[in-house]
């Protein structure tokens, strides 16, 4: 969960999943897939 300025929302929604997918492949045996949800509380994000 992140808290950020609304002006950065589009960038984070695009880039964060890409960055998380690039973790060191030697550590993980399966691909890491990440999604970005948006909301004012945890329930809205999912």
Let me know if residue 41 belongs to a domain: yes
22 CA to centre of own chain: 12
Rounded Cα distance, 4 and 17, in Å: 16
Let me know if residue 19 belongs to a domain: yes
pLDDT band at residue 11 under the 50/70/90 scheme? very high
Q: What is the pTM of this model?
A: 0.66
* Residue owning tokens 């691909």: 31
> What value does the mean pLDDT take over residues 9-32?
82
More confident residue, 19 or 25: 19
Query: Can you give the pLDDT at residue 15?
Result: 92
Let me know if residue 35 belongs to a domain: yes
In the chain, how many domains are there?
1
Let me know if residue 32 belongs to a domain: yes
Let me know if residue 29 belongs to a domain: yes
pLDDT band at residue 25 under the 50/70/90 scheme? low
Q: Print the domain residue range for 16.
A: 6-45
């Amino acid at each position: 969960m992140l808290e950020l300025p609304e002006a950065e929302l589009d960038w984070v929604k695009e880039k964060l999943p890409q960055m998380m997918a690039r973790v060191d492949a030697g550590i993980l045996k399966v691909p890491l897939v990440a999604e970005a949800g948006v909301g004012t509380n945890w329930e809205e994000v999912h």
